Structure 1
Amino acid sequence: MFIAHIPNRNSKPTILLRESYREGGKVKTRTIANLTKWPPERLAAMERLCKGEFDGWSGEDMVSGEIFGVLFALKFLADQAGITRVLGAAPESKLSLFLILARIAHGGSRLSAVRWAGQHAVGDVLGLGEFDEDDLYAALDWLAGQQERIERELYQAHVARHGKPPALVLYDVTSSYFEGESNELAEYGYNRDGKKGKLQIVIGLLTAEDGDPLAVRVFEGNTADPSTVAGQIKILKEQFGIAEVVMVGDRGMIKAKGKEALSAEGFRYITALTDAQVRTLLKQGVLQPDLFDTHLCEVEHDGKRLVVRRNDTVRVREERRRADKLKQLQEKVGERNAFVAKSSRASAEKGLAALQRWVKSHKLGKFVTLTMEERVILCAIDEVAKEEDGLLDGCYILETDVPKGLMDAATVDGRYRDLQKVERNFRTIKTTFLEIRPIFVRKAKRTKAHVFVAMLALKITRQFGAGLRKGFGTVG
C-alpha cells in the first residue's frame, strides 16, 4: 500500500490510499480509501506505516503525550471569569495563571506543581516555557504586588455584569493552621478547625450578595474578628469607590468600633448578637421572653432595629441533644456507682472528677450538679436553670441600622442567612476543590499571595458551577 497525491488544477490535491496488484501479467493499482479530509498528522503517520517504519514494533515502548484537556478547560473558565484578562501580559502573569489553575487541578506545593506541569501541555495552552519552583515563588511575589489592582478590575467587571454596584456585601473570617513553625504571620489564636496547639493565620473574605468573591485579606493568627472590619471598610471605600452599602457580618463580628466606622463612611450593617448580649437585654427588660414564641418579630432599641428570629427545627434538635446528653450522664453515673459498689479498691473520688469533667465538656454545668455521699455519686438537675439554659434554643437576634423602608424584618433575616454563601466558599477553599492547606510558604507576602491564588481559583470553580447549573440545573 502507498499514499498517492493526485494534483487538481483549481483545488487541493486528492490524497488516496492505494495498493498495487497483478492481473494478466500486468501491474495495476486500485484505490482503497480517500484520505483527502484527514488531518496532516494522521496522514504523516499513515505514510510512515505504509513505508514499513513500524514493522517489528511491539508497542512496549509506547508513551503518552502531554495531557492537554485539563489546562485547556480550566483556562477557558478563567477566560470566562475575566481572570486571564486582569492578570495582564506581564511575563509573571502566565506563571500566576498556572498557579491558579494548578491550585484547582493539583494543589500541593510549588515544587510539586513543577513536576505536575511536566505531564501537562503548559506550553501549548498557556504559552509557558520551562520553569522551576523559584520562578513560581517569583510569580507569587509579583501577584502580591498586583492584588489590589486585580481585585479592583474584577470588581469593576462584576459591576458591569450586574449593571450597578452591590447594595450589600457579605463578610466573614476563618482560620487555617500550620504544621510548621516558621511562617511570619503564624500565631496561636482561636482555631476554627479544632486543631488545638497549632499556629494559624486568619483569613477574611469579602463577597457580593451572591457570594462572588470580591477581596481577601490575611491577618496574623491571633487577630480578633472585629478588628478586621476596618480593613474591609477601606477596601469598599478606597479600593472599590463604593459610596453606600450594607455590610453583613456574623455574630459578634461587627462591634461598637466597627459600627462607628461604618456609620462614619455612610455604610449600614446587619449582624447578630451573641448569647451573652441577648441575655443582658433580657435582664434589662429590653427583650421579653414571649418574643421568642413567634417565628419573626422586631423591636427598637437605642435607634437600632432588633429582629428576633426563631427556628423550630433547630429548637427541637437542641432539646433532643440536651436530653440525650442527660441520658448518657445518668447511665455513666449508674455504671460508675455499680463499679465502685463491686470493688472496694475503686476510687469513687476519681470517678466523680472524671464525670465532672464530662459535664463541663458537654456544657451541662449550668443546671447539673454532681456530688458524692458515702461513695455514691449523685446527679441533681435544676429544672429552672435547665429551662433558662434552653430559652434561646433555635433563636437568634439580628441588629441592624437599615431603615424599615429599605428592608423589612424578613429581608434582614434573609440577608443575614446569606452568610452561608461565604461559609460555603471557605469550605471550598479549605477542603474539596482547592485545599489551601498545607501552606508551604514562610514569608508574609507569599502567604497572602497564596491565599489570593486560592480566591481567584474559587472564582473559577464558581464559574464552573454556574455553567453546570445553566446547562443541567445542578452542580452535583
Structure 2
Amino acid sequence: MYIESVPNRDSPPAILLRESYREDGKVRKRTLANLSCLPTEVIEGLKLLLRGGVAVPSAEAVFSVERSLPHGHVAAVLGCARGAGAASWFASAPKELQPLLLAMLVARVIVPASKLATHRVLHDDTASSSLGRVLGVGQCSADDLYRALDWLHEAQPAIERRLARQHLVGSTLVLYDLTSTWLTGRCCELAARGHSRDGKRDDPQIVFGLICTATGCPVAVEVFPGNTVDPATVAAQVSKLRERFGIEHIVWAGDRGMLTSARIEQVLKPQGMDWVSSLRAPQIAQLAAEHGPLQPSLFDERNLLELTSEHFPGERLVVCRNPLLAEERARKRGELLAATEADLAKIAAATRRERQPLRGEQAIALRVGRVIERFHMAKHLELSITDTSLSWQRRQEAIAQEAALDGLYVIRTSVPAAQLDAAAAVAAYKSLSHVERAFRSIKTVDLHVRPVFHYNAQRVRSHVFLCMLAYYVEWHMRARLKPMLFDDEHLDEASASRASPVLKAVRSEQAKAKDASKTADDGLPLHSFRTLLQDLATLAYNVTHTALNPEAKIVLTTRPTPVQAKAFELLGLNPACTQ
C-alpha cells in the first residue's frame, strides 16, 4: 500500500490510499480510501508507517533540547590538534590533566583569553562552546588549569625535542628571530624595559625568540627578560639545538641585528655552525669602498653579484640590487629632507620676526634638535646657528654617497656554493618572513599572546609556549585549508618562476583571481582563518533528551553547510566524531 497525491484541476489534489497488485502479468492499482479530509501531519504519519517507520505525535513531544552550543570550530581545531600529535605531547601528564591541556590548547586557537576566562568557557554552567563537554572537563576548577600550566613548563624541553626530531631531521636550515610583548605591572621578574618592537616604550616587556623550520613551522620558543638584546639570545638557542635536540650541524638564518659579526665569531664558529645573514649599512659602505662603486651595470639580469672580502674571511657575500627598493629609498630621503627643511624654515622665520623674535644660540639649537631628532636628517645637513639666526645647506657629497647604495643589500653566508648557490642564499634569508608571520599571528591576529596575566616567571614562559603550540596547530590547519582562504596556494611556484629572488614576491595568478572574485573555484566564499572559524562555530552541538527517559542524554549535531562540509573534508574530519 502507498499514498498518492492525484492532481484535481483547479481544486486541491486528492490524497488517495492505494494498493498495487499483479493481474495477468500486469501491475494494476486500486484505490482503498480517500484521505483528502485528513490533516497534513496525519497523512505524513501514515506515509511513515507505510514505509516501515514509527509515527510520533510531534518532534517536540519526543526530543527536548537542553543546550545548543557552538561546536564546528571546536571539532575542527580539536581534530587537527590530535592529528598534529597533541595527545602524545601530553601523554606523560597526570591522567586528569591530559584533557585539560588539550582543552587549553584548543581554546587558545578558538577563543584566546586569560586562564580564568578559559575556565568559564569550559565550565558546564557558563560554557560558550562544546569544548568542555566534548573533552569532559566541564567541572574543572581554575586551579586545575594552573596546575596544567605548571606541568607544561616542566614538559617543554621534552615536547620541543619531539618536534625537533619530527621536523629538523634531514634539514640544515633553521629560522630564528626575536620579538617582544609588553606587560602591565611590575611584579614579573622577567619584566624589564628594553627596545620595544610594539612602540610601547613606557611599559616593561618580555622578549621571546622563535625557532622555525625553513617553511615556517614552529619548533621551539624561549622567553628572556625584557632588556635582553637580540644577539645575546643566540648562544642559548645554539646550545638548545646542540645539547637538548642533539643536532650537530645546522645553518642559522637570522637578520643582521641578530647574527652580528661578534656573535658569529664568538658563538657560531666555535660550535661549527653555518649561517645566513646580512651586512649592516656601514659594512656595505666599507665593501663598496673596497671593491669600488657598485654600479648597476655590474649586476646581471638576476641583480646578483657575488664577492669576497678580506674583512669577512671564509664567507661568501651576495650583493643584491633591487631597483624598486632604490627608487623607494630615494623618494623617502627626498621627502624627509624636504620635511626637515620646512620645519627649519619655520625656526629661521621665528628668528626674523619683528615681535618677540627667537634669540639665543642655545634656544635656537634646542628647537633645531627636536626637528633633527624627528626626521634623522642631521647627517645630510650642514647647520649654522648664531644668537640671532639659523641657516643650513645640504651636504650634497654625503647625499650622493648614500644614494649610490640605494637598493643594495648584502647577504653573508658561510655555506659553500655547492650546497647553497647565490640565489638560494637570498631565498633562505628572505624566508625569515615566515617567522614574522608567526609573530604576527601569535601576537595580534589570531592567538593574542598578550595581555599576559601571569606574574610568575615560570607561568609566563609556559603561557608563551602554549601560544607557540597553538600556532603549530594553526600552521597545519592553514596548510590544509588554503583552498578556502585568501592564502596563496601557488606561492612557491610563483617564486620559482621569478627571474630573480631579489625581486619582490608577487601573488600567483590563481591568488589574484581569488582576490578579485572573493570566491573559490567551486563558487563558495573565501575566508580569513579567523572568519572561517566563526563560520564553523555555527555548526551546533545539541544536548537533548526524550520524554520517555529524560536522564538519557542524546547529542545531535546540525547538518553542515556547504562551506562547513568543504572545510571538514579538507581537514579529513567528521564533526560528529570528536571523542
- Do the structures match in fold with TM over 0.5? yes
Residues 242-391 of structure 1 aligned to structure 2 (within 5 Å) = 242-254=247-259, 255-282=261-288, 285=290, 287-290=291-294, 294=299, 295-301=303-309, 302-338=313-349, 341-347=352-358, 350=363, 353-372=366-385, 375-391=388-404
Q: What secondary structure, in the 3-state scheme, does the structure 2 residue paired with 1:431 have?
A: helix
Determine the structure 2 residue equivalent to 1:12: none
Determine the structure 2 residue equivalent to 1:195: 200
Measured after TM superposition, the shift of residue 340 of structure 1 is 5.3
Q: What secondary structure, in the 3-state scheme, does the structure 1 residue paired with 2:97 have?
A: helix
Q: What letter is aligned with 2:75?
A: F
Q: What secondary structure, in the 3-state scheme, does the structure 2 residue paired with 1:183 have?
A: coil
Residues 2-401 of structure 1 aligned to structure 2 (within 5 Å) = 31-34=45-48, 46=59, 48=61, 65-88=68-91, 90=93, 91-117=96-122, 118-158=127-167, 164-254=169-259, 255-282=261-288, 285=290, 287-290=291-294, 294=299, 295-301=303-309, 302-338=313-349, 341-347=352-358, 350=363, 353-372=366-385, 375-401=388-414
Q: What letter is aligned with 2:223?
A: V
C-alpha distance 231-334 of structure 1, shift in aligned 2 (>3 A): closer
> What CA distance in whole angstroms lies between the structure 1 residues aligned with 2:128 and 2:464?
25
Measured after TM superposition, the shift of residue 323 of structure 1 is 0.6
Determine the structure 2 residue equivalent to 1:5: none
Structure 1 contact 245–268 (Cα < 8 Å) conserved: yes
> What CA distance in whole angstroms lies between the structure 1 residues aligned with 2:162 and 2:225?
27
Structure 2 contact 150–462 (Cα < 8 Å) conserved: yes
Q: What letter is aligned with 1:289?
A: P
Measured after TM superposition, the shift of residue 47 of structure 1 is 6.5
> What CA distance in whole angstroms lies between the structure 1 residues aligned with 2:461 and 2:157?
12
1:450 aligns with 2:463: yes
C-alpha distance 388-29 of structure 1, shift in aligned 2 (>3 A): closer
Measured after TM superposition, the shift of residue 231 of structure 1 is 1.8
Measured after TM superposition, the shift of residue 273 of structure 1 is 1.8
Q: What secondary structure, in the 3-state scheme, does the structure 1 residue paired with 2:316 have?
A: strand
Q: What do residues 175-232 of structure 1 show as CA deviations (whole Å, max 9, x unaligned)?
A: 1111211112111212111111321111111111101111111111122222211222
Structure 1 contact 111–132 (Cα < 8 Å) conserved: no
The percentage of aligned residue pairs carrying the same residue is 32
C-alpha distance 183-38 of structure 1, shift in aligned 2 (>3 A): farther
Structure 2 contact 347–368 (Cα < 8 Å) conserved: no
C-alpha distance 127-154 of structure 1, shift in aligned 2 (>3 A): farther
> Which consecutive aligned stretches of 4+ in structure 1 deviate over 6 angstroms post-superposition?
35-40, 42-45
> What CA distance in whole angstroms lies between the structure 2 residues aligned with 1:44 and 1:165?
65
Q: What do residues 250-298 of structure 1 show as CA deviations (whole Å, max 9, x unaligned)?
A: 1132233444533344321111122233334455x2x433267532112
Between 1:406-415 and 1:113-122, the stretch displaced more is 113-122
Structure 1 contact 291–297 (Cα < 8 Å) conserved: no
> What CA distance in whole angstroms lies between the structure 2 residues aligned with 1:416 and 1:209?
10
> What CA distance in whole angstroms lies between the structure 2 residues aligned with 1:427 and 1:146?
26
C-alpha distance 333-30 of structure 1, shift in aligned 2 (>3 A): closer
Structure 2 contact 344–371 (Cα < 8 Å) conserved: no
Q: What do residues 67-100 of structure 1 show as CA deviations (whole Å, max 9, x unaligned)?
A: 3223222101212222233222632232222222
5+ long unaligned stretches in structure 1: 1-20, 55-61
C-alpha distance 89-314 of structure 1, shift in aligned 2 (>3 A): same
Relative contact order, higher structure (CA 8 A, sep 6+): 2
Structure 2 contact 340–377 (Cα < 8 Å) conserved: no
C-alpha distance 378-260 of structure 1, shift in aligned 2 (>3 A): closer
C-alpha distance 339-243 of structure 1, shift in aligned 2 (>3 A): closer
C-alpha distance 278-44 of structure 1, shift in aligned 2 (>3 A): farther
Q: What letter is aligned with 1:312?
A: P
Cα RMSD (Å): 3.2
Q: What letter is aligned with 2:283?
A: Q
Structure 2 contact 441–471 (Cα < 8 Å) conserved: yes
C-alpha distance 30-176 of structure 1, shift in aligned 2 (>3 A): closer
5+ long unaligned stretches in structure 2: 1-34, 489-527, 529-579
Structure 1 contact 185–220 (Cα < 8 Å) conserved: yes
Q: What secondary structure, in the 3-state scheme, does the structure 2 residue paired with 1:290 have?
A: coil
Q: What letter is aligned with 1:252?
A: G
> What CA distance in whole angstroms lies between the structure 1 residues aligned with 2:370 and 2:316?
40
1:408 aligns with 2:412: no
Measured after TM superposition, the shift of residue 244 of structure 1 is 2.6
Measured after TM superposition, the shift of residue 430 of structure 1 is 0.8
Q: What secondary structure, in the 3-state scheme, does the structure 2 residue paired with 1:250 have?
A: coil
> What CA distance in whole angstroms lies between the structure 1 residues aligned with 2:98 and 2:394?
65
> What CA distance in whole angstroms lies between the structure 2 residues aligned with 1:357 and 1:37?
88
> What CA distance in whole angstroms lies between the structure 1 residues aligned with 2:258 and 2:206?
17
* TM-score using structure 1 length: 0.82
C-alpha distance 384-242 of structure 1, shift in aligned 2 (>3 A): same
> What CA distance in whole angstroms lies between the structure 2 residues aligned with 1:361 and 1:473?
38
1:417 aligns with one of 430, 450, 467:
430
Q: What do residues 124-170 of structure 1 show as CA deviations (whole Å, max 9, x unaligned)?
A: 322324123222111111000001111122233336xxxx5212111
C-alpha distance 376-185 of structure 1, shift in aligned 2 (>3 A): same
Structure 1 contact 144–445 (Cα < 8 Å) conserved: yes
> What CA distance in whole angstroms lies between the structure 2 residues aligned with 1:433 and 1:386?
43
